[in-house]
Amino acid sequence: MYNLTHVSEFHLLGFSDDPDLQLILFGLFLSMYLVTILGNLLLILAVSSDSHFHTPMYFFLSSLSINEICFTSTTVPKMIVDILTHSRVISYIGCLTQMSLFILFGCMDDMLLAVMAYDRFVAICHPLHYAITVSTHRCALLVLASVFLSLVESQMHNSMVLLSTCFKHTEIANFFCDPSQLLNLSCSDPLLKTIVTYIGGVIFGFFPILGIIFSYYKIVSSVLKMPSSEGRCKAFSTCSSQLSSVCLFYGMGIGAYLGSDVSYSPSKGMVTSLMYTVVTPMLNPFIYSLRNRDISSTLKRILSWRM
């Protein structure tokens, strides 16, 4: 057992100690990170450069892209530096900071996906009230509320670790300071840890999923009642990319965690973390650009103008 005053750093497990794999891992993770950053920046540029995209739906999409950049930047640069320097040590303060930012931007993903589902629900089910219900002022309030709730959740976990008087050991079986593992390492009250975990799961897991399911249930019901097949296709096309992103995010997260609970191993846990911290943010720009003709054409115009 380590006294809290003596814990100045934690040791991350990382993916592999094999020297022959280090260059491959460095190239792979650096490429994925650059694709994530460039893809999301291009999506933000496309939305901001065309006045036709200055609508609530694309405002939320830009917010999601900004959040994806921040989310993946919380963990991947540190992992790349660790591979280069052959050091997996992270300071106590650095670990708490990384954990806080990871929870903040991860919860923001949940909230923004739920807000985007609500936006499509109002647009398709109540189109006459859309301009009033999803006004510019309300859009800003929804994003600010998402930031505030995510910040509260982040600080709850941070406080739990800070209140701990000791740690079982200083090795974290992941490539970043995983909040769940850090809580398990702390010697704080198990009941309090369980309460914090369940509160976070309900607010940022159950409620957003419930809101998304309800929104798309009402959307599908309204679309099926439309007399025109062309109108149905147009309505479905406006929310297909967002639904794909939701399925990708929650599908990877829930499926991976359920698989980890059945047969957990450190390597499987790291692959799980990699899927939702790197792969999902990297694929989102492709989903929205390939499934949205307007964004796709705008991106082609931007790229051709740059060249």
**Domains of the chain listed by start with CATH number:** 2-306 (1.20.1070.10)
Would the pTM of this model clear 0.85, i.e. be above it? yes
> What's the CA gap between 92 and 75, in Å, rounded?
15
Find tokens 């990384």 and name the residue.
Answer: 98
> What's the CA gap between 131 and 129, in Å, rounded?
6
Type and span of the H or E element at 90:
strand 89-91
- The encoded tokens of residue 170 equal 């200083």
For the chain (307 residues), the mean pLDDT of every run of 10, in chain order, is 60 80 89 93 86 85 93 93 87 90 92 91 88 90 93 86 75 86 77 76 82 89 79 73 80 60 64 83 82 72 64
What is residue 264's predicted lDDT score, i.e. its pLDDT? 57
What is residue 256's predicted lDDT score, i.e. its pLDDT? 54
> What's the CA gap between 98 and 167, in Å, rounded?
18
> What's the CA gap between 253 and 256, in Å, rounded?
5
